[in-house]
Structure 1
Amino acid sequence: MRPPAPARVLMYHGVDHVSRERDPHGMFVTPANFRAQMEQLLEAGFVPVTEAAYLAALGGARLPRKAVLVTFDDGYQGVGEHAAPILESLGIPSVLYVLADLLGGRADWLGDRLGYPLLSAGEVQGLRTQGMAIGAHGLDHADLTAVDDAELRRQTRETRAALTELLGADVSTFAFPYGAHDRRAREAVAAAGYRAAFSVHRPAGRFGIQRVDVNATDTLRTLRVKLHGLYPAARRTSRHVPRARRLVHDLLGSAYDAPEPAPAGAGDPLEVNRS
């Protein structure tokens, strides 16, 4: 089943200065690179849209031809400190997916070397007041394909209830931790009352909408490629043909050897997914 695709959807994680040694999976884009990427979006004629506009498009509303939705997974503090001011200055809306039970905690799933701090409940409320939409990412970053039915209901329904109470507003969308989903997980998200859910590279309809990951190794050139309408299909092909993937890397390079400001982090721009 092919997902509805009213707009391209970008997935970021952290925005901050984090060393390559502490961020082996390349989760953190530097603030300078993030600003350059957002400016490139606008200069290339892309039209950033709100979560509400995206959902309306799933129901048949029209969007600009080059519409794009910007999303962030996990709720790292650097998104509030660095990304939010950049987005506000450029007039770009976004969606932040947070973990209901870990607000104010740390990202333990990234390993002891990083343990990066997560936004607090008050900080999430503040970002929503500033205009950033807030979505659900589960309670504690559990892989929803690996839990039983009772835990699946808890991760979806209790998360939505907790965030709705915190924000005083409905929580409309869900992003699967690790991008992992199956039929059970998708059905649980739908039953919990969400209007749509996002995966990463495995499209599966309205409750498994694919996104394009942007990470620390991406240059402005690789971002242009990732924004191309054919990129998702090309990426799926490259996963099964290692030689094709190596060719893409040779042609595009990475942020580590590009002339623009060197980002913090490491990883494979076509393979990283620690959402």
Structure 2
Amino acid sequence: MAATVDTDRRPPGTSIPWVAMYHSVADCSDDPYRITVTPERLDGQLAWLRRRGLTGVSITDLLTARARGESAGLVGLTFDDGYADFVTAALPVLRRHRCNATLFVLPGRLGGDNAWDPLGPRKPLLTADGIRRAAAEGVEIGSHGLTHIDLTRASDPELETEVGESRALLAELTGAPVSGFCYPYGAVDSRAVTAVAAAGYAYACAIDPGPLTGPLALPRVHIGQRDTAVRLYLKQRLHRLRRRPVEDTR
């Protein structure tokens, strides 16, 4: 689930970071959007990484290591939406495999649920205390906007609020700077990237940002319940072929 060692031997800033995108870790019997993996599946996926000498880390740690030319063997792990099961189900598995991650949360929906998903079960989101607990465990907390709206369809005031206010609220909640942003639905355009830059984020995660690919639109690969060892290997190879190199602006 990462760029291979030979890729990371290229000069810093020219390799393609391999970043995995997770959401919920729970029972997945009712999962129309395929956003859920069971704790057992996550355990197997992280074991797959570790057997190959790879370690899951936060995006800030991954980018910092890349800037020093030391990212060989590191994998970016991200968890979107801030589901409550991150603390109860995902975090113990991460710790068992000595991995870390970035958790993207919605400060405008603390203690709420995934109301933006019209299908499927309602999943509870982390409260403020849950987010602080994750942060105290060393998990990087990033913003997923305030309320999970498509930023490419937002008005200018909505865009500024979703991007800027969410960062300020999370910094106040955790007592730490917030470096990362994640575009809801993976939807990104140049206007959204400009807003993220203006709000002071160091990086932002998307899914397939195409020509916008860069530190403020990092590509990621969705990881789901069906991703066993063979599928993970294929996704790794395809990621290296499809994504452009990310220029390092540090």
Give the TM-score normalised by the residue count of structure 2.
0.86
- Displacement of 1:100 in angstroms is 1.1
- The 8 Å contact of residues 99 and 138 in structure 1, kept in 2 or not, is answered as yes
User: Does 1:222 pair with 2:234?
Assistant: no
Which of 28, 36, 58 is 1:50 aligned to?
58
Q: Over aligned residue pairs, what C-alpha RMSD do you find?
A: 1.9
- The 8 Å contact of residues 70 and 94 in structure 1, kept in 2 or not, is answered as yes
Aligned to 1:264: none
Q: How many Å separate the matches in 2 of 1:6 and 1:61?
A: 15
Q: How many Å separate the matches in 1 of 2:33 and 2:223?
A: 12
Superposed, 1:136-155 pairs within 5 Å as 136-155=143-162
Instruction: Tell which has more relative contact order, 1 or 2 (C-alpha 8 A, sep 6+).
Output: 1
- Displacement of 1:64 in angstroms is 3.4
Aligned to 2:195: 188
Superposed, 1:11-26 pairs within 5 Å as 11-19=21-29, 22-26=30-34
Q: How many Å separate the matches in 2 of 1:174 and 1:105?
A: 20
Which letter maps to 2:26?
A: D
Which letter maps to 2:43?
A: R
Aligned to 2:117: 110
User: Does 1:207 pair with 2:228?
Assistant: no
Which letter maps to 1:18?
A: C
Superposed, 1:1-275 pairs within 5 Å as 5=15, 7-19=17-29, 22-57=30-65, 60-111=67-118, 113-203=120-210, 204-228=213-237, 230-231=238-239, 233=241
Unaligned runs of 5+ in 1: 237-275
Partner SS state of residue 134, structure 1: strand
- The 8 Å contact of residues 26 and 216 in structure 1, kept in 2 or not, is answered as yes
Q: How many Å separate the matches in 2 of 1:225 and 1:78?
A: 28
* CA offsets 1:174-223 (integer angstroms, 9 cap, x no match): 01000000000000001001001010122421111101110122222101
Q: How many Å separate the matches in 1 of 2:14 and 2:83?
A: 28
Identity of aligned residues (%): 38
- The 8 Å contact of residues 79 and 102 in structure 2, kept in 1 or not, is answered as yes
Which letter maps to 2:221?
A: V
Unaligned runs of 5+ in 2: 1-12, 245-250
Q: How many Å separate the matches in 2 of 1:170 and 1:194?
A: 10
Q: Structure 2 vs 1, CA of residues 127 and 75 (structure 1 numbering), >3 Å: closer, same or farther?
A: same
- Displacement of 1:105 in angstroms is 0.2
- The 8 Å contact of residues 219 and 243 in structure 2, kept in 1 or not, is answered as no
Which letter maps to 1:212?
A: V
Q: How many Å separate the matches in 2 of 1:124 and 1:4?
A: 34
Partner SS state of residue 108, structure 1: coil
